[in-house]
Structures are given as C-alpha cells and as structure tokens.
C-alpha cells in the first residue's frame, strides 16, 4: 500500500510538473536543449506597428500580404519551438516588414523575457545608433544588433566603414553581439574587413549570418569556403550561423548551376572542422524561409549526425547562450 507521505509527495510533484512552462517539458527532435538564433516576429496590426517593407527582398506588396495573411506572433513561433525542442532564442528584427523600427520585436521580447532575446537592426553609420544601443541594452535586454547590405557606390560596406566605428565601439563597450550579413558579389572582400574589425573590437562577438554564404557549387573542394572564409577561423571572436535559409540558398545555387545539392552532412562536418563546433550556432530563419520548416530543422540535426554529444550541445545551444547575453556582457575585464 502507498503511504500517506508517499502519496502527498507524489501529489506535490505532479502539481509542480503541471505548473512548469510548457516549453520546459517539450520532447523536441533531439536529446538536448536547442537555442534558435534566427526567428523573425511580425504581426498584422499596421495601426499599432506600421509596415515599412521598402527593403523587402521579394517586393513590399508581397511581404505585406504575407505578414497580413500569416503574422509571426510569439504564439506561432512558440508552436514550432515547442515541437522542435527550442527552449529560447533570439528574435531577429525583420527588415522586410519594419525596416529599422524595432518596436514590435522589443515589445514581444519584453512580454516573453524567458524565451525571446532581441537582435535589432539599426543604421550602422547613424550618429544616434550608439545611444540607442545603450538604451536598448539597459531597458530592453538587447543582446545584439544586425547589419546587412551590399557595397555602396563608393565600394564600401557601410557597416565596415570608418563611419560605423562609433557604433562598433558602443557594441564593444556593452559586450553585445554584432550579426553581419554582407551581400553581393564582393563577400570575400567583406570577410577581409571583418577580420580587421574583429581585432579592433575584441569584446564584440561577431556572428556571420549563413556562414558568410559559402558556394559549394562553385568551390566544391572546400564546400564553398573561400580563402577569406578560412582565414577568419584565426579570429576567435567570430562565430558562424548555420540556418535553414542557407540550406535553401545552396539548393537554389546548385539548381541554377545544374549541379546536385551538396550533401549536408559532409558539408557541415567540414565547416566544424575549419571553425569548431564551439563557434557555431543554429537558426531556423522561421518567418522568412519558404518551405517545410520542421523538415528543415530535421535536416540540420541530421547533418550534425556523427558529431559527439558535446559538439552537438555546443552547436545547438551552448555557444548561442554564451554569445547572445541579455543586456550584453559589459566591458572587457569588468
């Protein structure tokens, strides 16, 4: 017979388990916790959060129609996260819906501080940006800022220009991450400059979105890595993001070149061999990628097959937790 003490203990344990947040008990796709470093949030409330989709990749009208028909609210994102086993992640400002107005992202991050950490987008050369970073770090638990774009008419990437140095200095003082996505045909040139900025701002953890877009259909022997990619491995404050979007981009590149898609498992193992599992993070790019979101997460996990458990835990959780710190890590040595 069960004793009264055992009965009470089991009853209390059951009550405690029932009170735990739903995401804490989600089984997920893997036997370890996951951190999603690339989820997008947007809503269909233009009266409160006006759309600014001028920079949308596929056109403003299409992006607004997409956001109106299927808003990426926390409830929608958390449903995927709970299925996958993601316990928390970064909300990455979505330029395609709101430009540099980070209001919705900061509001949902504030409402769900246990699950969403904000990565904003701001103009890197704007004189007001350093103060905004300081304000967001203090008031909104800012963990990073993202810069993207191609070279301008002067042949410069704005976020790697002299005019951006005050912004980098502010990020260095705060100890927040800077996420970079250089675009265009001169990505290797950008990577050379990233190396210099990594040395100049050692308290910034730089995260290269989509691993800096390797092109395995062009450079099959190195799985698409240029010498400039490889040289970045020497800079230990540079990290790399493996995403669902990169998978779809490599598929599109292979198709355009009339070549088979690279096998993701040897591709990812080569990346880890060059940069280290402890310098990788994973992101779903949920809200941006078109296709089977759950299937793309499974493909990322399958690509990591053969790594040991510690490497997988670093890749899918530990590294992200150390890079994306709410409010920043503070000044170096503090």
Domain total for the chain? 1
Assigned domain for 63 exists: no
Is 60 exceeded by the pLDDT of residue 3? Answer: no
Let me know if residue 23 belongs to a domain: no
CATH code for the domain in which residue 204 is found: 3.20.20.140
| 263 lies in some domain | yes
- The average pLDDT across 222-246 equals 97
- What is the CA 278 to chain-centroid distance, rounded? 15
Number of neighbouring beta carbons within 10 Å of residue 246:
23
Two tokens, residue 4: 């009264």
Q: Which of 190-194, 248-252, 283-287, 290-294 has the lowest mean pLDDT?
A: 290-294
Residue 145 structure tokens:
């800022």
Residue 101 is encoded by which pair of tokens?
């107005």
Is residue 9 domain-resident?
no
Residue 1 has pLDDT above 70, yes or no: no
Does residue 269 contact residue 277 with C-beta atoms inside 8 Å? no
Helix (H) / strand (E) containing 229: helix 227-231
Whether residue 306 is contained in a domain is answered as yes
Does residue 2 lie within any of the structural domains? no
Confidence of residue 19 (pLDDT cuts 50, 70, 90): very low
CA–CA gap between residue 197 and residue 195 (Å, rounded): 6
Global pTM reads 0.90
**Tokens encoding 99:** 């430009």
Residue 107 lies in a domain: no
Domain range for 179? 83-88+118-284+291-323
Instruction: Tell me, yes or no, whether 199 lies in a domain.
Output: yes
């Amino acid at each position: 017979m069960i004793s009264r003490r055992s009965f009470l203990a089991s009853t209390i344990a059951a009550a405690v388990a029932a009170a735990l947040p739903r995401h804490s008990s989600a089984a997920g796709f893997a036997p370890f916790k996951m951190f999603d470093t690339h989820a997008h949030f947007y809503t269909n409330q233009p009266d409160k959060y006006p759309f600014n989709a001028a920079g949308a990749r596929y056109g403003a009208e299409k992006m607004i129609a997409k956001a109106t028909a299927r808003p990426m609210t926390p409830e929608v994102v958390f449903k995927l996260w709970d299925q996958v086993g993601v316990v928390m992640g970064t909300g990455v400002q979505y330029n395609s819906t709101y430009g540099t107005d980070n209001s919705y992202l900061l509001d949902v991050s504030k409402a769900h501080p246990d699950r969403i950490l904000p990565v904003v987008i701001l103009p890197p050369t704007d004189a007001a940006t350093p103060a905004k970073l300081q304000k967001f770090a203090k008031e909104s638990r800012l963990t990073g800022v993202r810069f993207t774009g191609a070279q301008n008419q002067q042949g410069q990437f704005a976020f790697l220009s002299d005019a951006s140095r005050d912004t980098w200095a502010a990020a260095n003082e705060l100890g927040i991450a800077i996420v970079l996505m250089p675009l265009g045909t001169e990505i290797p040139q950008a990577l050379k400059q990233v190396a210099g900025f990594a040395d100049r701002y050692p308290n910034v953890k730089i995260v290269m979105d989509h691993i800096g877009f390797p092109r395995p259909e062009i450079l099959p022997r190195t799985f698409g890595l240029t010498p400039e990619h490889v040289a970045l491995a020497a800079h230990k404050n540079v990290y790399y993001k493996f995403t669902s979007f990169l998978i779809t981009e490599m598929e599109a590149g292979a198709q355009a070149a009339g070549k088979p898609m690279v096998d993701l498992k040897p591709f990812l193992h080569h990346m880890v061999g060059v940069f280290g599992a402890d310098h990788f993070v994973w992101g779903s790019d949920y809200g941006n990628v078109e296709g089977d979101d759950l299937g793309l997460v499974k493909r990322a996990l399958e690509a990591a097959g053969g790594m040991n458990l510690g490497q997988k835990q670093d890749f899918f959780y530990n590294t992200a937790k150390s890079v994306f710190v709410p409010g920043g890590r503070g000044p170096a040595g503090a």
